[in-house]
Amino acid sequence: MAKNSEIEIAWKKIVDEIIKCRKCDLHSMRRNAVPGEGNLRAEIMFIGEAPGLKEDEMGRPFVGAAGNLLTKLIEEIGLKREDVFIANVLKCRPPNNRDPTEHEMNMCLPYLVRQIELIKPRIIVSLGRYSGIIISRLAGIPFKGITRERGIPRKINLFTNQIIFLPTYHPAAALYKPPLLNSIKQDFETLKSLLSNKEKFDDTLDKYLY
C-alpha cells in the first residue's frame, strides 16, 4: 500500500497537470480548473459531470446549489464531505453548463482514470447520466440509461480493482424535478447499507459481477 506522502505527491502531480491542461477548448473559457477534492484514502468516490459556475469560480467541485444538496445527502447517511472523494468527468466548465462532448470527455478521461487508480475507492457513486456512461464504459459493461440503472449496485472490475458501482441521478436534476429527490435519497440509503453490511453486500453482489 502506498504511503500517505506518496499518495499526496501523486495527487499533486495530477492536480498540476489538470491546472495546466490545454487538451480541449474548455481551458480557454475556465476561470479555474476543478480537479476534485476529498479524502485520498476514501472508501467512496462520487463522480459528477462537470463544474458549474460556482465551481469554476472556486476551483472546487460541488459547491453550488447541487453541491449543497450533495453535502446534505452525504451527511444524512452519517458521513462528512471530508470522508469521501468528489470528482467530475470533466475538470473544466462547459459554456452555459452545456452537456460534455465526446471529445472533451475523451481528453479528460485519463485524469479521472488516474484519480480512481490512486484513491482506489471501494464504492463509486456516479451522479447523473454522463458519469454513469463513463464508468460503465471504463468497466466494459452496458449502461441502459440512468432511469433503469440507478440504485442498483454492481460489482465491476475497474483496472486491477473490484469496485462496487452505484449509479444515481445528478443532484441538480433533483433540484428542478422534485420527485427525483426521493429516488436519490433511496439510493443514498442503499449506499449506507453497502457501508454497514460490507460482507453481506459483497457476497450478494457476486451475482452481479461482470
Comparing CB distances to ligand URA, the nearer of 21 and 66 is 66
Find out whether 204 and 194 touch, Cβ atoms under 8 Å: no
Q: At closest approach, how far in Å is the CB of 85 from ligand URA?
A: 13
Residue 166 exposed, middle or buried by CB count within 10 Å (0-12, 13-18, 19+): buried
Q: Which long-range contacts (CB under 8 A, 24 or more apart) does 94-98 make?
A: 94/26, 94/50, 95/29, 97/50, 97/52, 97/53
Q: At closest approach, how far in Å is the CB of 76 from ligand URA?
A: 19
Of 132, 138, 185, 173, nearest in space to 158 by CA: 138
Comparing CB distances to ligand URA, the nearer of 67 and 153 is 67
Comparing CB distances to ligand URA, the nearer of 35 and 153 is 35
Comparing CB distances to ligand URA, the nearer of 127 and 164 is 127
Comparing CB distances to ligand URA, the nearer of 55 and 149 is 55
Give the three cell numbers for residue 37.
477534492
Q: At closest approach, how far in Å is the CB of 128 from ligand URA?
A: 6
In the bound state, the residue with its beta carbon closest to ligand URA is: 48
Residue 140 exposed, middle or buried by CB count within 10 Å (0-12, 13-18, 19+): exposed
Draw the binding track, 42-81, toward ligand URA (x: CB under 6 A; -: no contact): ------xxxxx--x-----xx-x-xx--------------
| Residues 148-187 within binding reach of ligand URA (CB under 6 A) | 172
For binding to ligand URA (CB under 6 A), which residues are involved?
Answer: 48-52, 55, 61-62, 64, 66-67, 88, 172
